[in-house]
Amino acid sequence: MPREEQLELGLDQAHLPALLMAIVHLEGNASVLDDFPRPLYDFFADGRLGGYNDEQQAKIRERAKRAIENYLVSGETLPPPPSADTVRRMMDFVAGADIPAHYVPFMEEELGLSGADAKHPHWEEPKLIARRKDMHVVVVGAGMSGILSAIRLKQAGIAFDVIEKNADVGGTWFENTYPGCRVDNPNHMYSFSFEPNHDWPYHYSTQDVLLAYFRRTADKYDLRKNIRFETQVTEARFDEKTSKWHVKVKDKSGKEEIIVADAVISAVGQLNQPRIPDIKGVETFKGPAFHSAQWRHDIDLKGKNVGVIGTGASAFQFVPEIAPDVRELKVFQRTPPWLGPTPDYHDKVGEGKKWLLEHVPFYGKWYRFWLFWMLTDGIYEFVKTDPTWNGPQNAVSPNNALLREMLSAAIKPQTDDAPWLFDKIIPDYPFGGKRSLRDNGVWVSALKRPNVELVTDPIAEIDAKGVKTKDGRHIDLDVLIYGTGFHASNFLRTFKVIGRGGVELHERWNGDARAYLGMTVPGFPNFFMIYGPNTNIVVNGSIIFFSECSVRYIMGCLRLLAETGNATLEPREEVHDRFNEKVDEANKMMAWGAPQVTSWYKNAKGRVSQNWPFPLVEYWSATLKPNPQDFELRKTG
Ligand SMILES: Cc1cc2nc3c(=O)[nH]c(=O)nc-3n(C[C@H](O)[C@H](O)[C@H](O)COP(=O)(O)OP(=O)(O)OC[C@H]3O[C@@H](n4cnc5c(N)ncnc54)[C@H](O)[C@@H]3O)c2cc1C
Interval 401-412 mean pLDDT: 95
Residue 441's pLDDT band (boundaries 50, 70, 90)? Answer: very high
> Helix 363-375 and helix 351-359: axis angle, to 10°?
110
Q: Ligand 1: distance of its center to the CA of 181 in Å?
A: 14
CA atoms lying within 13 Å on the CB side of residue 114: 8
Beta bridge partners of 248: 235, 258
Cα 164 to averaged position of ligand 1 atoms, centre (Å): 12
pLDDT, position 365: 94
Contact 232, 141 (CB under 8 A): no
Please state the atom number of ligand 1 nearest to the C-alpha of residue 234.
41
Q: Check pLDDT > 90 for residue 251.
A: yes
pLDDT digits (tens, 9 = 90+) for 361-391: 999 999 999 998 888 777 888 999 999 999 9
**Minimum CA distance residue for ligand 1 atom 35:** 141
Confirm or reject: Cβ of 232 under 6 Å from ligand 1. yes
Integer Cα distance of 133 and 158 in angstroms: 7
Q: What is the pTM of this model?
A: 0.96
Tell me, using a 6 A CB cutoff, whether residue 494 lines ligand 1. Answer: yes
| Protein residue whose Cα sits closest to atom 45 of ligand 1 | 141
Compute the distance from residue 184 Cα to the ligand 1 centre, in Å.
14
* Rounded average pLDDT over 487-510: 97
Mean pLDDT within 90-115: 92
Sheet bearing 452-455, strands edge to edge: 289-291, 479-482, 305-309, 328-332, 452-455
Those residues with Cβ within 8 angstroms of residue 229's Cβ, 6 or more apart along the chain or in another chain = 142, 164, 166, 167, 168
Number of neighbouring beta carbons within 10 Å of residue 542? 23
271: CA distance to ligand 1 center in Å? 6
pLDDT band at 539 (very low <50, low <70, confident <90, very high): confident
Residue nearest to atom 37 of ligand 1 (CA): 268
What amino acid is encoded at 116 in this protein? Answer: A
Average pLDDT, the chain: 96
Q: Say yes or no to pLDDT of 559 above 80.
A: yes
Average pLDDT over residues 458-466: 98
Residues 203-208: what's their mean pLDDT?
97
Q: Does the beta carbon of 150 sit less than 6 angstroms from any atom of ligand 1?
A: no
- What does the alpha-carbon distance between residue 532 and residue 569 come to, in Å, rounded to a whole number? 18
Q: In a mutational test of the pocket of ligand 1, which residue from 189, 543, 549, 616 has the highest number of ligand atoms less than 8 Å from its CB?
A: 543
Q: What is the 3-state secondary structure (H, E, C) of 589-610?
A: CEHHHCCCCCCCCECCCCCECC
Q: Is the pLDDT of residue 44 over 90?
A: no
Tell me the pLDDT tens digit for each residue of 270-284.
Answer: 999 999 999 999 999
Q: What is the mean pLDDT of residues 451-456?
A: 98
- At a CB cut-off of 8 Å and minimum separation 6, what does 594 contact? 385, 393, 396, 429, 430, 433
Residue 143 CA to ligand 1 center (angstroms) comes to: 6
Rounded-to-integer distance, Cα 385 and Cα 591, Å = 6
Main-chain dihedrals φ then ψ at residue 63, nearest 5 degrees: -65, -40
Q: Is the CB of 184 under 6 A from ligand 1?
A: yes
Span between the terminal Cα atoms of the chain, in Å = 66
Q: Is 164 a pocket residue for ligand 1 (Cβ < 6 Å)?
A: yes
50 Cβ inside 6 Å of ligand 1: no
Output the pLDDT for position 317. Answer: 98
Mutate to test the pocket of ligand 1, among 182, 205, 224, 271 (most ligand atoms within 8 A of CB): 271
Give 10-26 pLDDT, tens digit per residue: 999 999 999 999 999 99
Does the CB atom of residue 485 touch ligand 1 within 6 A?
no
- Three-state SS for 567? coil
Rounded distance between C-alpha atoms, residue 322 and residue 476, angstroms: 18
- Closest ligand 1 atom number to CA of residue 541: 11
Residue 90 pLDDT class (50, 70, 90 cuts): very high
Supply the pLDDT for residue 380: 86
267 CB near ligand 1 (under 6 Å): yes
Residue 458 clears pLDDT 90, i.e. is over it: yes
Candidate of 268, 537, 538 to mutate for ligand 1, largest count of ligand atoms within 8 Å of Cβ:
268
CA 152 to chain CA centroid, nearest Å: 19
C-beta 163 within 6 A of ligand 1: yes
What CA–CA distance (Å, rounded) separates 617 from 39? 24
So what's the pLDDT on residue 374?
85
How confident is the model over 500-528, as a mean pLDDT? 98
Beta partners for residue 569, in sequence order? 633
- Nearest ligand 1 atom, CA 530: 26
